[in-house]
Structure 1
Amino acid sequence: MAIWIDVTTSLNWNRPPVGIVRTELECARYALAARFSQATKLCYFDKSAGEFRELSKRQAKKINNLISGLYEVKQSSLTREAYTVSSAAQGKKGPRRWAEFASRIKYSLDSVENGLIRGWAAKAGNPRDKIEIVFTQDENIVARTMASQYRDDLARAGIGGGNCAFTMPLADLVGSADPEKTQRLDVIARSGRFGRRRLGTIAFDKGAFRFLTESQDAGPIVTFSREDVYVSAGLDWDNKDFNRIYNLKLMREFRVVGFCYDLIPFFFPHLCVGDVSSFFSRYFTELSWCADGVVCISECSRRDYKEFVRRSGCALPETKVVRLGSAIARSSANGLTASPVAEVIAASKYILFVSTIERRKNHEVLYKAYVKLVERGIADLPKLVFVGMRGWGVSDLFSDITLDPRIKDHIVVLNDIDDKELSALYENCLFTVFPSLYEGWGLPVAESLGHGKYCLASGAGSIPEIAGDLLDYLDPWDVQAWANGIEALLEKEYLESKEHAIRERYQVDEWSACVDGIFEFADKCGVRQVRASA
C-alpha cells in the first residue's frame, strides 16, 4: 500500500505558498521525509492526458525548493522570445453567418504576464452573456476557458461588470500543441452554436516552438494498485477532472481522499467573483461521488459540506476534521534588510490584518471604523496595515483609502510578503484584526495567536473554533463595535491581560499533527479497501 500526495497546485504556483498551497506542501514535506510506516509518494494530474504522473527531476526540484522557501519566479529568455501575441483588428469582419456576433463583441488580447496569456471579451449591450475562449491549431482545439474572471481595471472602465477576463498558462498551450503542425495558435471567442470571432493569434518561432513542446518534461504515468490511496489537498476545481479520476478509480480500484476547505461560493455566492456557485456545486458533487473520504478543516466546514450533500442528493463519503497547522518560522525585524516591511515596523505602532484584499474579507468595516476613530480625535492612532494580494470587488475601497484625507495616512497596504517578513510583522504589531464575513477556518487568526498576539475577530463561520473564549467576537457588519473594540485594545493594561491569557492557554497547532491526522485518515481508507477486497 502507498499513499500518493498530489502536488498539482504547487507545481503551478509561482508565489510564496499560502493557505491551501501551504497545506499541500506540508503534506509533501512529510511524505518526502518518510516519517510514516506506509510508502508515501508524490504525483500530479496531467489534465491534457487525463492521467496521474510521477514527478520529473525538474518538478521534484521545484517542490523541494518551495518546501525550503527557495523558489523564485523565473522566466527563461527563450520563453520570452519564442512567441508573438497579436490581437485581431476590432472592425475586421468574419464569415457572414458570424457577422452579427462579431460586430457585437468587444475584446482585447493582452501581453503575457508570469507565463499567462491574458485578455478579455464581452458582448456589447449584453455583458452578462459569458463567452468561451478556445485556442486552436489548424482548426483543432488545444485548450479552452471562459471569459468570466474578474479584473478591477475592466470594472472601472465599465466593461462587462469586470467579470469578462480570461487567462491561459502558456505552458498548457505549448504542452497540448503538436510541434509537427502550424506554429500558430488562433484565439477564438465563441457563444452558442453560431457566435464565433477570432481575437488574435499566438505565433511561435519554429525552432523555439519545437524546443518548447518537446521540453515539457513529464514523469512516468502512475498505475495505482487497489491498495493505494490518493490524497488531494490542492485547488482541485482549477486543476482536476474528477469525472476522469472517477473512471480511473473504477478501473484500478484505488481509494480517493479529498478536501473541503469551505463552501462559501455555494452558500454565499454574492461574496464571490463571477458565477462560481454553479462551478463549485459541480466540483463538490463530482468529488462526493468519487471520494472515499473528505478531510474538513473545521467543524463548520464539515457541517456545511454535509448540508451541501443533503441539498444536492449526492453520496456522503466518510469525513474527518483536521485542524490546519498554524506554526510559521518565528522571525524578528532584526534580520530584515531594507524593505517596505522593515519600514513599517520601524516607523510606528501598527495594527495588522493579514488576508487577501477582497470583499468577503471585509476590509471596508475597518476603513469605516478608522474614520470614526480619527473623528473621535484618538491620540497617536496606530497605522492599520493590510497584508495580502488585491482581489476582486475592492476598487471603490482602494479609491476611498487613497482619496479620503481623514484616513489615507493611516492605512498601509503590503503584498508579496514571505514567511520571514510575515512573522516579523506579527511579532511587532500591537494586535491583529480579522473581520471576515465568513470562513472555513481563518488561518491568520491562528497565526496571530501563535505569535502571542491578540486578534479582534469576527464571529462568522469557523473562527470561534480556533480560540474559543480567548477572543472577543464582533458582528462583522457593526462599524461602531469595531471602532470601540480597537479603541479599547489601545489601553495597554487591557491588551496585556488578553495577551497573558493567550500565553497561558493557547496551544499552537503544529503542521506535523495536521499531516499526521491526514495520513491516518488516508491509511484508514486504504485498510478498509484491503479488507473489503480480501
Structure 2
Amino acid sequence: MTIKHIMELFALDGRDFVIGSYDVLLHREPDAHGLLYYLGCLNRGYGKAYIIVQIARSEEFDSSNKINGLERLIRDEAKKHSIFFHIFNRKLNINRLIEKNLVHLDNVSKSINDSAVQLINALKDFEINHGNSVSRNNVIDEKRNFLQDDNYHTNIKSYKEDFYFLSKRFDRLLSEYKYNGIMFVDITTLLKWNRPPVGIVRTIFEFVKYSLTRKDKSIEYFTFNASRDALKIVKRSLVEIMIQVLENDNVDEIFRKNVLDLAKREVDFREDGEIDQAYLVPYSQNGFSVLFDASKIIAKSMHCPFRRIDNIISIGLDWDSSNYDLLLELKKIIGFKFIGAYYDGIPIIKPEFLPNDIFCNMFFDYFCKLSELSDRVFTISKKSKAEYLSLMENEMIPGTKDIKYIRLGDPELNKIEYHNKEERKINGKFVVYVSTIEKRKNHILLLHIWKKLYHKYGERTPQLICIGMWGWGVDDVKSEYFADSNLQKCVKFLDDVGNNELTWFYENASFAVFPSHDEGWGLGASEAMTYSLPCITSSTPALLEATQNLMPFCEANNKDQWFDLIDEMISNPDKIESLGLLIKEKYVSKKWQEFSCELFEYATYKGE
C-alpha cells in the first residue's frame, strides 16, 4: 500500500485500518495477536492516531521510512499524554474525551450487533454439522465446545479471530448481567459521629443497621480517610460493633468515644496504591499559590474495590465527609452506579438561615456534583423531591430523572422507666420541641411566647423542654434566655438526651411544638405522632406532610397566632385529648426497617 501522507490511513476503518497501518509502517501483514490487540483498542475508543504512533514506536519500524505528517502526529500524540497538557487544556481534553466515548459507544453497538449475528450463524452451523439441536439453556456450554473444535475452525478461518474476541466479550457481558454486583455503603459519616444518632445521621444509621441483618453477603462498607483522598473497605465486624455502640444509650460516653476512635484509627491509614499530597500540582495565579484538583490523577493511580456492576450508596453528611470529585473520576474510569440522597436545599434556597456564604457556596457545589454523580437519588419527602427537580431546572443542572421519594421511619414504641426526672428539674406538665437549636428552627419565637405565657400563668406555666444540639445563628436565643430569670424557670435546653430518654419525653409531654421556618422532613414531628402526641407546627410543607395534615398549624412568623394556639392547648385539655384520639385513628406509621428495605430495593433494582 502506497500513501503520500499519514492522514490517508485515517480514511480506513477497523481491520482495514490495522492492516493498512502495518503495511505502510512495517511493510508486512499484522500477526494474529497484533491484529486482535489493535482491534480491541479501536473497540475501546482509542483513536487511530494512538495506534499509528504505537506501531511507529516498535523496534521493527525503520526510522529512515519518511512519511509526510508522521513526525508531527507523533509529537502531537506525546503532548496529549503530558500532565501539563492535561492541566492547561482542560476544555480540549473534555472535547476529546467526549469524542473518544462516542467512538467507543459506536464500536460497542456495532460489536454487539455483529456478535449477535455471528453467534446465531455459528450456532446454526454447529447444529447442522453435529446433527443435534442446541437448547437455550446450554447455549453457552455448546458455544465453548464449538470454539475448542479445531476441525470446525478450519471452516470459519476467515473470521476465527474476530469471533473469538467477540465470544469472550459476550461471556463477560453475560456473566456481569447475571451477577448483581456488590453494594458498597459509605459509612464515613457514622465514623465521625460519637453520640446518639439524630437527623441525617439517624437515616444512615438505620440503613446500615438493616443491611447488617440481610443474609446475602453482597454488601460491603467503606470510608474515606481524614484527608478524603483515599478510601478503604471497613470490616463487617467493625461496623457491627460501631452500630451497637451508637445504638446503646447505656454505653458510657467515654467508652463510646474510645471505641469509635479505635475504629477510625483502624481504617485511616495509607496503603500501597494510595496517593499522598505529592500528587497535588501547585501553580501561581495573580500572586496566589493554587492547588490543582488532583482527583483525576489519584483516581487513575489508586487501587479501587469498585467494579462496573457495583452500586455505591452514600446518604450521610456528604458535603462534609465524602469526596465527590474523586468518586466522579472513579466512575468515569470504572462505570459503577451511584445512589445519593437529597434531604433539603435550604443553604441554596434560604441562605439567610446559614452562618455565612462560604457554606452556601460549598453546598451548591456539592449539589451540582450530587446531580452529576448520581444514577438514582432518593428524597425524604414529596416536598424535597419537588424542590430537587426545581433546583435542577432553575439552575440548569444536568442530572438523572430517576428520583424516588421514600418516607423516613418512625421509632419503635417502647415503655421506658425514667429515673432522671428530678435531676433534669422537670416539674409538672411540659411541652417538648425536639430539634437542633439553630436560627432556622425558630426557637426565638418560642421564647417570646413563653415570656407572655409566664405573664399570664406565672408559676403554673408548663415548662418548655427544648431537646437538641446547639448549632449556629442562635446568639439572640442565648442572649434572650440568659437575660431573663423567669424564662430560665419555665424553659429548659437539653443537648444530651439519648433515644431511651427521648422516648419518655414523647410519652409524657402534654403536646409538642415545631415552629421551624423550613424543613426537608419533620422527623421530630413524625416521631411525636407515633406516640400519639399532639403537635402544633409551622405551615412549611414538610411538617404538614410529616403530620399527614392532621394537626393545627400556622405561619412560622405569626407570633399572635402561635400564642393563641399554644394557650388554647394549655387551657383546654379536651383539645389535647381529641387530637390524640385523631392521631390514633388516622395517623399511618412506618417502621425504620420498612424504609431501609425500600431504599435497598431502590438502590439495587436493575431497571427496565
**TM-score of the aligned structures, taking structure 1 as reference length:** 0.69
Deviation at 1:59, TM superposition (A): 5.4
1:39-94 Cα offsets, whole Å, 9 max, x none, are 22322233646343221455553234224556654389999xxxxxxxxxxxxxxx
Deviation at 1:511, TM superposition (A): 0.4
Q: Distance in 1 between matches of 2:288 and 2:600?
A: 50
**2:398 corresponding residue in structure 1:** 315
For the 8 Å contact 1:298–1:441, the answer to whether it is kept is yes
Q: Secondary structure at the match of 2:254?
A: coil
**2:538 corresponding residue in structure 1:** 458
Residue 238 (str. 1) matches residue 320 (str. 2): yes
Deviation at 1:225, TM superposition (A): 2.2
Alignment of 1:357-506 (within 5 A): 357-377=437-457, 380-490=460-570, 491-506=572-587
Task: Identify which of 506, 511, 514 aligns with 2:592.
Answer: 511
Structure with higher Rg: it is 2
Residue 279 (str. 1) matches residue 362 (str. 2): yes
Residue 289 (str. 1) matches residue 372 (str. 2): yes
1:402-456 Cα offsets, whole Å, 9 max, x none, are 2224433111111111000000011111000000000000100001001110011
Q: Secondary structure at the match of 1:392?
A: coil
Cα 1:68–1:15 shift into 2, 3 Å: closer
Cα 1:353–1:499 shift into 2, 3 Å: same
Cα 1:19–1:376 shift into 2, 3 Å: same
Residue 302 (str. 1) matches residue 481 (str. 2): no
Indicate the structure whose relative CO is greater, using CA pairs within 8 Å and at least 6 residues apart.
1
Identity of aligned residues (%): 29
Cα 1:446–1:49 shift into 2, 3 Å: closer
**2:332 corresponding residue in structure 1:** 250
Task: State how many pairs are aligned.
Answer: 400
Q: Distance in 1 between matches of 2:257 and 2:499?
A: 29
**1:50 corresponding residue in structure 2:** 229
Q: Distance in 2 between matches of 1:364 and 1:486?
A: 15
Q: Distance in 1 between matches of 2:257 and 2:200?
A: 31
Cα 1:295–1:223 shift into 2, 3 Å: same
**Residue range with higher mean Cα deviation, 68-77 or 447-456:** 68-77
For the 8 Å contact 2:412–2:591, the answer to whether it is kept is no
Alignment of 1:52-451 (within 5 A): 52-56=231-235, 58=238, 60-69=240-249, 72-74=252-254, 193=287, 223-275=305-357, 276-317=359-400, 318-328=402-412, 330-332=414-416, 334-337=417-420, 340-341=423-424, 343-344=425-426, 347-377=427-457, 380-451=460-531
Cα 1:460–1:304 shift into 2, 3 Å: same
**Residue range with higher mean Cα deviation, 264-273 or 303-312:** 303-312
Residue 23 (str. 1) matches residue 175 (str. 2): no
Cα 1:378–1:406 shift into 2, 3 Å: closer
Q: Secondary structure at the match of 2:590?
A: coil
Cα 1:67–1:349 shift into 2, 3 Å: closer
Q: Secondary structure at the match of 1:476?
A: coil
Deviation at 1:22, TM superposition (A): 1.1
**Structure 1 segments unaligned to the other structure (5+ residues):** 80-113, 116-169, 178-190, 196-219
**1:100 corresponding residue in structure 2:** none
Task: Give the letter aligned to residue 350 of structure 2.
Answer: F
Higher strand share: 1
Deviation at 1:401, TM superposition (A): 1.6
Q: Secondary structure at the match of 1:257?
A: strand
1:356-383 Cα offsets, whole Å, 9 max, x none, are 1111000111111122223334772201
**1:522 corresponding residue in structure 2:** 603
**Residue range with higher mean Cα deviation, 395-404 or 19-28:** 395-404
For the 8 Å contact 1:51–1:221, the answer to whether it is kept is no
**Structure 2 segments unaligned to the other structure (5+ residues):** 1-179, 272-284, 290-301
Task: Give the letter aligned to residue 527 of structure 2.
Answer: E
Q: Distance in 2 between matches of 1:338 and 1:489?
A: 23
Q: Distance in 2 between matches of 1:437 and 1:415?
A: 21
Cα 1:368–1:312 shift into 2, 3 Å: same
For the 8 Å contact 1:329–1:420, the answer to whether it is kept is no
Task: Give the letter aligned to residue 225 of structure 2.
Answer: D
**TM-score of the aligned structures, taking structure 2 as reference length:** 0.61
Task: Give the letter aligned to residue 241 of structure 1.
Answer: N
Q: Secondary structure at the match of 2:378?
A: strand
Higher helix share: 2
**1:208 corresponding residue in structure 2:** none
Task: Identify which of 34, 48, 60 aligns with 2:214.
Answer: 34
Q: Distance in 2 between matches of 1:441 and 1:77?
A: 29
Q: Distance in 1 between matches of 2:287 and 2:241?
A: 45
Cα 1:193–1:356 shift into 2, 3 Å: farther
Task: Give the letter aligned to residue 211 of structure 2.
Answer: A
For the 8 Å contact 1:336–1:421, the answer to whether it is kept is no
Task: Give the letter aligned to residue 223 of structure 2.
Answer: Y
1:98-148 Cα offsets, whole Å, 9 max, x none, are xxxxxxxxxxxxxxxx99xxxxxxxxxxxxxxxxxxxxxxxxxxxxxxxxx
Task: Give the letter aligned to residue 308 of structure 2.
Answer: R
For the 8 Å contact 1:3–1:38, the answer to whether it is kept is no
Q: Secondary structure at the match of 1:353?
A: strand
